[in-house]
Each structure stands twice: as C-alpha cells, then as structure tokens.
C-alpha cells in the first residue's frame, strides 16, 4: 500500500510518500525504515472518503483519521473520537490539523520518498 500525504512544512507543500507491505492478516500492513518498524491496522474505511488507522511504533500506539478532503462527516469524527477514548488515549491528545493552508500539489523539488534508503 502506497501512502502519499500532502503537507505544509515551513510554508512549503511537501508530498511525503511511504510504502507499506501487506501482512498475513487482512487490513494489516508494515514497513521498516531506518531500522524502525511501523505496523498499521486499518480499523475502518469507506474506501472513498475516510480511513481510521492504528499505527504502532516501539509499543506506542497512535490513531489517525485520514480524509480525502478537509471536510469529514461529523458522524465519522464522533466515531473516531470514541475509538480514541475506548483505547485509553486521553481526549486532550486529539489534534486536528488546521483547514487553512491545505496543499493540493507539491513541485518536483518537494517530494520526499521516505522509503529511499530503507533497510
């Protein structure tokens, strides 16, 4: 599974690319980069609008809600929030990226393929 994330860093749009390999269990993927393994589980998705994803690195678990647009259905946001709380992650640790400054593209000089040099 190839994941591309468009993100502004220091006012510049970057396209960050990461490759995850399928695990033996459906919905699970893994990648190793610079000696660090990241395991992910797709918790829920409708394949067109959003995905709720668990990430694990070194016994640390993070939940992320990804959307194809900046407008994600309120019911999905509530579901995500409840999943965070159900996993004993404090409510104060839920962060929302701001809607302003959303990137749609990055030029050829601002593309980071995070798998270059992977082990």
For residue 54, the model assigns a pLDDT of 92
Q: How confident is residue 99, by pLDDT bands cut at 50, 70 and 90? A: low
Q: CA-to-CA distance for 96 and 87, rounded, in angstroms? A: 18
Within 10 angstroms of residue 2's Cβ, the number of other Cβ atoms is 8
pTM (global) more than 0.85 = no
2-113 placed in CATH 2.40.128.20: yes
Give the chain's mean pLDDT.
84
């Amino acid at each position: 599974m190839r994941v591309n994330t468009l993100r502004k860093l220091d006012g510049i749009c970057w396209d960050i690319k990461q490759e995850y390999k399928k695990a033996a269990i459906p919905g699970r993927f893994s990648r190793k980069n610079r000696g660090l393994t990241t395991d992910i589980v797709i918790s829920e998705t409708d394949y067109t609008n959003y995905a709720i994803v668990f990430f694990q690195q070194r016994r640390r678990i993070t939940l992320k809600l990804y959307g194809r647009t900046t407008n994600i259905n309120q019911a999905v946001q509530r579901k995500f929030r409840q999943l965070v709380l159900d996993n004993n992650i404090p409510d104060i640790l839920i962060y929302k990226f701001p809607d302003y400054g959303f990137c749609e593209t990055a030029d050829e000089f601002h593309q980071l393929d995070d798998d270059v040099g992977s082990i």
